[in-house]
Amino acid sequence: MDDAAARMLRRLLDERPVAALGTLHRGEPAVSMVPFVLPRGDTLLVVHVSALAPHTRDMREHPRVGLLVMAEPGDGVTPQALPRVALQADATTLPRDGADHAAARAAYLERFPDAAVTFELGDFSLVALRPVSARLVAGFGRAEALVGDALATWLRG
């Protein structure tokens, strides 16, 4: 994959507001929607989830998750060739009094100012999703797997 394609796919993480989150739910794969932010220069994604949502309990019981961020289907692109990024990641709840909470909250609210009210609710938590591998798909037969340093460099953008 050339650099331009890798950059185009990295931009999806800045521009697309939601990801499909795959969790292990009672032993079965379940997919839900999560708004997310990848703070600038960081290597982990941040989501803000309710204790009432099944995916929140799923992540506590089984932290390894899958994530998919897709380009918007449009007239010019065959759906089969839609650019997308699939990640495997490990979920960690950020304690409210922890060192990382304030920065994650600020990044989340910068992207989603309407979500401010949910930070007033006791049942919501910030969860960091640390990617351990990525599969970048730029189109038909244009895929690349990333791990380790190459993954971190790509995430930092």
Measured between alpha carbons, how far is residue 12 from residues 58, 79, 101, 106 in Å? 26, 16, 24, 20
Q: Does 38 bind a second copy (CB under 8 A)?
A: no
How long a stretch of residues is the chain? Answer: 157
According to CB under 8 A, which one of 9, 45, 67, 91 is a site residue for a second copy? 67
Q: Spell out the alpha helix ranges (H) of the chain.
A: 3-15, 54-61, 101-111, 148-156
CA dist 108 and 129 (Å) reads 13
Q: How far is the CB of 155 from a second copy (least distance, A)?
A: 18
According to CB under 8 A, which one of 18, 102, 106, 150 is a site residue for a second copy? 18
Q: Does 116 bind a second copy (CB under 8 A)?
A: no
Q: Tokens 């910030």 map to which residue?
A: 126
CB closer to a second copy, 108 vs 154: 108
**Contact positions vs a second copy (CB under 8 A):** 16-18, 20-25, 28-33, 35, 62, 64-68, 70, 72-73, 78-80, 82, 84, 86, 88, 112, 114-115, 118, 137
